[in-house]
Chains A and B, each alone.
Chain A
Amino acid sequence: MSGTGAPQAQRDDPGPGTAVGSEASRVVMDADQIARACARIAHQILEANRGAEGLVLMGIPTRGVPLAYRLATVMDDVEGVRVPVGALDVTMYRDDLRQHPTRPVGHTELPVEVEGSTVVLVDDVLYSGRTVRAALDALGDLGRPRVVRLAVLVDRGHRELPIRADHIGSYVPTRTGEHVSVRLAEIDGVDQVSIEPADHVPEEA
């Protein structure tokens, strides 16, 4: 599995003069593996919660939202219950707002009151933990859930805060400079997780 599974030429040409350290990107999860990971995470969430009672899935935009919907679909197949899915934008709660030009704000949507429910935050990649920290603050302003859990498709390590995920699709060891690119069919037209080399700077962080 060394870059052969990339069906689209979406990868940027590194360009001339970037030969040093510019290895090709590696695919670490293909569509089947992503589907299996989602199915397993959905089962784990149901098991930990002893059913779908009181569950709310909150995806963190951009790619956490379609992932949350996928988990809900699996749960529907398993339990026959439609678990409410929402979106939780964390932009305004980030601790690095002042380090960048004004960031565009995503959509927040609360499907039900979170008060007293079991909220599962869903994101694509867990890295520094700062997004999750922001998400916990954002969630706290919307109500007081009974329990908050975290499900991620990829844990790439390098935490900067004492945060861990409850449900992980795949643990992917990376180097700090590398970029983990998660592409999902709903947004990118293809299901794939790849590691881009350090000199590759995609627009979506």
Chain B
Amino acid sequence: MRHLLSAADLDRNQTTEILDLAEEMSLVQERPVKKLPALRGRTVVNLFFEDSTRTRSSFEIAGKWLSADVINISAKGSSVSKGESLRDTVLTVAAMGVDALVIRHHASGAPWQASRWIDAHVLNAGDGTHEHPTQALLDAFTIRRHFRRTVPDQVSFDGKTVAIVGDITHSRVARSNVLLLTTLGAQVILVAPPTLLPSGIESWPVLVCTDLDQVLPRADIVMMLRVQQERMSGGYFPTPREYTIGYGLTRPRLEAMKPGAAICHPGPMNRGLEISADAADAANSLILGQVAAGVSVRMSVLYELLGGSE
């Protein structure tokens, strides 16, 4: 594997390999010396054109725990704010001899474009409303761990149902998750008001429903998406309150969930909007586990891409 640009780059075996390795990597967090020498002498640059806390810091920790040198460049405070183009920025960074570029950009397809310009490995850390493959991997990792509480060596998600609820139109998390969860065998149901369902959704390998209460009793995993207020120029739903009534994971809905089902949220959460405090802090909430999984999964991906010969 040369780049990780889309969750569609991964077949079921590769996904399972990455998740298995992430399990091994998670043990490193419990050791006295949280460092493996595998990427000694490699340089990873986090090139972030968009704000991020957890993705950037977990990529940074992942790289450092594998002994790579990690450099962070954000658009603010770099030449990007002086008007440098994406191409020039990417070529400049690559010219310094980096081995991998982790790119987050507000334009869909920017990491793919960058991968055409340079020889270094490119990892997509979220591009516009397109994809966020490492988020989908860490979601799959967390969900698999949840399933493994009942079936210890569960590998595939065959026969499982995952509901992804909220702003599908603007969500790169939803797109990557649809691809990856389907690859692993899950049935994905997208739940959203019609205004937040993208056009062309008929061609996705999913079921679509506009009534959350109809889906809740069937789903093994309920993944709540953040209402992305920064991408909302209005008109998608009348008021936040009405959104909560229709699509928020409220306390009554928590009780309507299938027994044994669990809750995910990619964060950051808007408590009281798409998810109630009761649901976020519920015993069957996997949200904190998702954050912890971020480092393990990104270590695994960095090792897969950079751990061998060129």
Query: Does A141 contact B309, Cβ atoms closer than 8 Å?
Result: no
- Quick one: which of B241-272 are within 8 Å of A by CB? none
The proximity string for B residues 53-67 relative to A, scoring 1 for CB distances below 8 Å and 0 otherwise, is: 000000000000010
B97 contacts the other chain (CB 8 A): no
Residues of B within 8 A of A101 (CB): 308-309
Name the contact of A102 in the complex, choosing from B31, B35, B304 (C-beta under 8 A): B304
Query: Does B31 contact A141, Cβ atoms closer than 8 Å?
Result: yes
The proximity string for B residues 1-38 relative to A, scoring 1 for CB distances below 8 Å and 0 otherwise, is: 00000000000000001000100100100011101111
Query: Does A102 contact B308, Cβ atoms closer than 8 Å?
Result: yes
**Contact A89/B24 with A97-B38, A101-B309, A143-B32 known, Cβ cut-off 8 Å:** yes
B303 contacts the other chain (CB 8 A): yes
Question: In this complex, what residue of A is CB-closest to B300?
Answer: A105
Query: Does B24 contact A100, Cβ atoms closer than 8 Å?
Result: no
Give the total number of A-B pairs whose CB atoms are below 8 A apart.
Answer: 49
A50 contacts the other chain (CB 8 A): no
Residues of A within 8 A of B309 (CB): 98-101
B residues contacting the other copy or chain, number (CB 8 A): 19
B307 contacts the other chain (CB 8 A): yes
Query: Does B35 contact A141, Cβ atoms closer than 8 Å?
Result: yes
A107 contacts the other chain (CB 8 A): yes
Residues of B within 8 A of A89 (CB): 24
- Secondary structure of the B side of the interface? loop
The proximity string for A residues 33-68 relative to B, scoring 1 for CB distances below 8 Å and 0 otherwise, is: 000000000000000000000000000000000000
Query: Does A93 contact B307, Cβ atoms closer than 8 Å?
Result: no
In the bound complex, what is the Cα–Cα distance between A92 and B21 (angstroms)? 12
A170 contacts the other chain (CB 8 A): no
Residues of A within 8 A of B310 (CB): 98
A104 contacts the other chain (CB 8 A): yes
**Contact A105/B21 with A98-B308, A98-B309, A99-B309 known, Cβ cut-off 8 Å:** yes
Residues of B within 8 A of A97 (CB): 38, 307-308
Query: Does B24 contact A108, Cβ atoms closer than 8 Å?
Result: yes
A142 contacts the other chain (CB 8 A): yes
A23 contacts the other chain (CB 8 A): no
In the bound complex, what is the Cα–Cα distance between A108 and B20 (angstroms)? 12
Query: Does B32 contact A103, Cβ atoms closer than 8 Å?
Result: no
Closest CB-CB distance, A179 to chain B, in whole Å? 22
Binding site for B on A (CB under 8 A): 89, 91-93, 97-108, 137, 140-143
Binding site for A on B (CB under 8 A): 17, 21, 24, 27, 31-33, 35-38, 66, 303-305, 307-310
A-B contact pairs, 19 of them (CB 8 A): A97-B38, A97-B307, A98-B308, A98-B309, A99-B309, A100-B308, A101-B308, A101-B309, A102-B304, A102-B308, A103-B307, A103-B308, A105-B303, A107-B24, A108-B27, A141-B35, A141-B36, A142-B31, A142-B33
